[in-house]
């Protein structure tokens, strides 16, 4: 039985996820062995959708935490709150998932400071415990608890990387852009447009991805293609939809915008 504590975190409807490789089987095996998993890949390529889908598939509640620089260990683990009757302890989101058997997803883990991320260490090795120092408690993880993190290797600088000792605790699943026909299927379905139009958008994406490393930090993501598809499906002319959803958001550099725009125009001929 899942504690009612996590009822709000249950994934009740199947999130649409189109498998790209063997990631579903790998994740299922990882979950069966209760091994922590790291999802690696560029922005907008399906990591969050995948973990939502897997939580639904495995019937586990999903507690997602967006990591950021100012996040403290207390934001994850919990803190004492002052109440009229005295101080009461309140579990943080990680502790709730640990106690009640949820999947805890730490999104963009490298954004958190390294001294914060070490709180997950005892959870991600054979001990499977979470020490709550302030409370003098050692929480043993619920048998169904699993930890998942996401990580975008593209943006990492030496200062903002995971500690070796953190990295080496996780299995990793690599997310890239899917094959054109698969990506078009995803875009068609999510933007509710026809397959041919989706394929044209995927073609535009391929060209933007070729500019990666030539000034563009990253090419157009699947997410961007869906945005463009939604605009086009809503009646915006295709060239204008691509401009608003892809060309303008992806770079502020006028030369790059022009390069991208001409690549797009070539596609739309
Ligand atoms: N394989 C897929 N199956 C279904 N939808 C997908 C898939 N890949 C991408 N998408 C679509 O792309 C959108 C963006 O994906 P998602 O939010 O999961 O990206 P992400 O990898 O978590 O990005 P970020 O690193 O920026 O958080 C999703 O909302 C979904 O519509
Ligand atoms: Mg995400």
Mean per-residue pLDDT of the chain: 93
Confidence of residue 1 (pLDDT cuts 50, 70, 90): very low
Listed in sequence order, the DSSP H helices in 102-179 are 114-117, 164-167
Percent of the chain predicted with pLDDT > 90: 81
Which ligand is closest in space to the CA of residue 49?
1
Cβ atoms of 202 and 187 closer than 8 Å: yes
Report residue 135 CA to chain centroid gap.
31
pLDDT tops 80 at residue 86: yes
Name, in order, each residue with C-beta under 8 angstroms of 121's C-beta and a sequence gap of 6 or more.
165, 166, 169
By mean pLDDT, which of 29-43, 104-118, 182-196, 197-211 is the weakest? 104-118
Whether the CB of 49 sits within 6 Å of ligand 1? yes
What atom of ligand 1 comes closest to residue 19's alpha carbon? 1
Distance 116 CA to ligand 1 centre (A): 27
Q: Is the CB of 20 under 6 A from ligand 1?
A: yes
Q: Which ligand is nearest to the CA of 64?
A: 2
Which residue intervals of the chain are DSSP H helices?
23-32, 47-58, 73-77, 93-100, 114-117, 164-167, 180-191, 195-210, 222-233, 238-242, 248-250, 254-268
Whether residue 114 is predicted with pLDDT greater than 90 in this model: the reply is no
**pLDDT value for 226:** 98
Model confidence, pTM = 0.94
- Cβ–Cβ under 8 Å, residues 50 and 175: yes
pLDDT 10s digits, 135-191: 999 999 999 999 999 988 876 555 578 888 999 999 999 999 999 999 999 999 999
Residue 146, pLDDT score: 98
Report the separation in Å between the CA atom of 151 and the middle of ligand 1, taken as the mean of its atom positions.
Answer: 14
CB 140 within 8 Å of CB 129: yes
- At residue 247 the predicted structure's pLDDT band, cuts being 50, 70 and 90, is very high
Encoded tokens for 250: 């992806």
Supply the pLDDT for residue 29.
Answer: 98
Regarding the beta carbon of 121 and ligand 1, being less than 6 Å apart is answered no
Distance, CA 134 to ligand 2 centroid (Å)? 31
Return the ligand number nearest the Cα of 185: 1
The pair of structure tokens assigned to 29 is 């095996």
Among protein residues, the one with the nearest Cα to ligand 1's atom 24 is 43
């Amino acid at each position: 039985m899942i504690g009612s504590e996590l009822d709000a975190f249950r994934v009740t409807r199947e999130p649409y996820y189109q498998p790209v490789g063997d990631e579903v089987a790998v994740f299922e095996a990882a979950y069966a062995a209760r091994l922590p998993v790291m999802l690696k890949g560029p922005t907008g390529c399906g990591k969050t959708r995948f973990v939502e889908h897997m939580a639904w598939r495995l019937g586990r509640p999903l507690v997602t935490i967006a990591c950021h620089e100012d996040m403290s260990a207390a934001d994850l683990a919990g803190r004492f709150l002052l109440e009229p009757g005295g101080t009461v302890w309140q579990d943080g989101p990680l502790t709730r998932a640990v106690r009640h058997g949820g999947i805890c997803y730490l999104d963009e883990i490298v954004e958190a400071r390294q001294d914060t991320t070490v709180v997950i260490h005892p959870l991600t090795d054979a001990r499977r415990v979470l020490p709550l120092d302030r409370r003098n408690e050692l929480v043993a993880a619920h048998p169904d608890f699993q930890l998942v993190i996401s990580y975008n290797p593209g943006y990492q600088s030496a200062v903002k990387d995971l500690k070796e000792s953190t990295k080496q605790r996780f299995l990793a699943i690599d997310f890239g852009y899917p094959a054109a026909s698969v990506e078009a299927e995803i875009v068609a379905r999510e933007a509710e447009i026809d397959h041919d139009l989706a394929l044209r958008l995927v073609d535009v994406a391929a060209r933007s991805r070729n500019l990666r490393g030539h000034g563009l930090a990253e090419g157009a993501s699947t997410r961007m293609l869906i945005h463009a598809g939604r605009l086009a499906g809503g009646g915006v002319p295709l060239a204008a939809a691509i401009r608003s959803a892809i060309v303008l958001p992806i770079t502020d550099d006028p030369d790059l915008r022009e390069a991208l725009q001409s690549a797009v125009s070539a596609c739309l001929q």
